[in-house]
Amino acid sequence: MDAKLLYWTGAFVNLAVIVLLAARGVSQVRRGEIEAHRRSMLTGAWLIAAFLVSYVFKLMFLGREDLDLWSRLHINNLRFHETCVLLMILAGSIALTRARAMRGTRQRTRNPEDPLARASTVAWHHRAGWTAIVASVLGLLTAGAILVGMYGRL
């Protein structure tokens, strides 16, 4: 098997785990399990960071893909996928910063004596989190199509 194809297969599995962690995190927060939600989302964030580091090494040692072999449809799918991943990273970063702004608040501690977080902070966290999740799901779907195309070009 080609080393690049092996790398992208691993990256696909990594993204699938990130999506599963996000779904688990949503379920946890709906049950009021704030610390479990936090751990799930931070684990997903660390997996994204690990992918970004691995991608730098992939470029250094394996190089880029030869897009001259790709159809216009596959290249457009790749560009949409890259946009989804970028949106996932940006929105996830916003959700993380808004979550940090909620430290020591009732939403995080569940202690009625603690102050409430600002409504705008909570709203930004919620919107950014959902944006990151939708982008990650779309990223996973498009990554699957990309991977199928890569296997088809063997």
pLDDT 10s digits, 8-43: 999 999 999 999 999 999 999 999 999 999 999 999
Please tell me the predicted confidence (pLDDT) of residue 153: 85
- The low-confidence residues of the chain, meaning pLDDT below 70, are none
Q: Measured between alpha carbons, how far is 34 from 18 in angstroms, rounded to an integer?
A: 18
pTM attached to this predicted model: 0.94
Alpha-carbon distance 92 to 129, whole Å? 6
Residue 56 buriedness (CB in 10 A; 0-12 / 13-18 / 19+): exposed
pLDDT for the residue numbered 16: 98
Residue 11's pLDDT is what? 98
CA distances from 104 to 42, 136, 142 (A): 18, 29, 39
Tokens 């090494």, located at residue: 57
Contact 135, 87 (CB under 8 A): yes
